[in-house]
Amino acid sequence: MSSKNASTKLRLNTKLAINRLKLLQQKKRAINDATVKDVAFLLEAGKLTSAQVKVEKVIQQDYFIEGLEITELYLEKLSTIISMLDHTKPSDKNSLETLASVIYASSRADVKELLVVKDLIGSFFGRDFMLQSLNNTNEIVDPKLVSRLNIQFADPKLVDEYLKGIAASYNVSNYKVLFGDDSDSDSNGGLKEKSETKVSVNSDKASEPSIPALPSPYSNSNRVSTPVPNTVQKKQPTKEVDPNSFEGLMARFEALKKP
């Protein structure tokens, strides 16, 4: 296959893989929303152990969905690299990280078009680069992508925080029985700061996602935004950027790469 034909096929399958990833994310979010409702019912019934088992699956899928989002952005970035391949092979760090990360995700994201993309990248950059990237032995795959696509057992503290968040969102009647009473006063009679039921937005633990946006039983929408602490003020953008432009893509890409 000529390099021009290979790049054309790579461009086509990259677009197909992006569309497939979008659909897969939607499907997994819908499943997660349904599981969250199941957890709420279990908590209402006082079945805390069963709820813990289910909520761990929710956390694992939250990791995985974020990994799919990162993969999607790398594929969009790959689209900007493909045009170079007919003339030269990019060797800069960012391009190699993009290529290696797409290859790494191909065997973990359950999207068949990604496997085609992987093989086509290998035809340009060689079998050795492809095999090293598959297992990250070259250590250039995005670390956050690696952590999100390798599903592990969730931290028990994170499980507890998810459960509290779900119980609060669904107004579970026996919240105090399950998790105790979070009093507003300390032992000296003074006010104490309430502990958040979600991971701090300033947490530097790259491996812990924030508490998911929980579906409200009183809303027509399946998902609602997780409230942000009042102490955190959202910064308004000074300039509106077209999300479909190259600048918009890069902005989303960098935001998603942050821990």
pLDDT score at 227: 35
pLDDT score at 115: 96
Q: Where in the chain are the domains?
A: 3-180+192-257
pLDDT score at 46: 93
The verdict on pTM exceeding 0.85 is no
pLDDT score at 259: 52
CATH of domain 3-180+192-257: 1.20.1260.60
pLDDT score at 134: 96
- What is the full DSSP assignment across the chain? --HHHHHHHHHHHHHHHHHHHHHHHHHHHHHHHHHHHHHHHHHHTT-HHHHHHHHHHHHHHHHHHHHHHHHHHHHHHHHHHHTTTTT----SHHHHHHHHHHHHHHTTS--HHHHHHHHHHHHHH-HHHHHHHHTTTTS-S-HHHHHHHS--PPPHHHHHHHHHHHHHHTT-TTHHHHH----SB-TTSSB-PPPPSS--TT---TT-PPPP-PPPTTSSSS--PPPPPTTPPPPPPSS---TTSHHHHHHHHHHHH--
pLDDT score at 151: 81
Averages of pLDDT over each 10 residues, the chain, 259 residues: 83 96 96 95 94 94 96 96 87 95 95 96 94 96 95 89 93 89 43 35 42 40 35 42 53 54
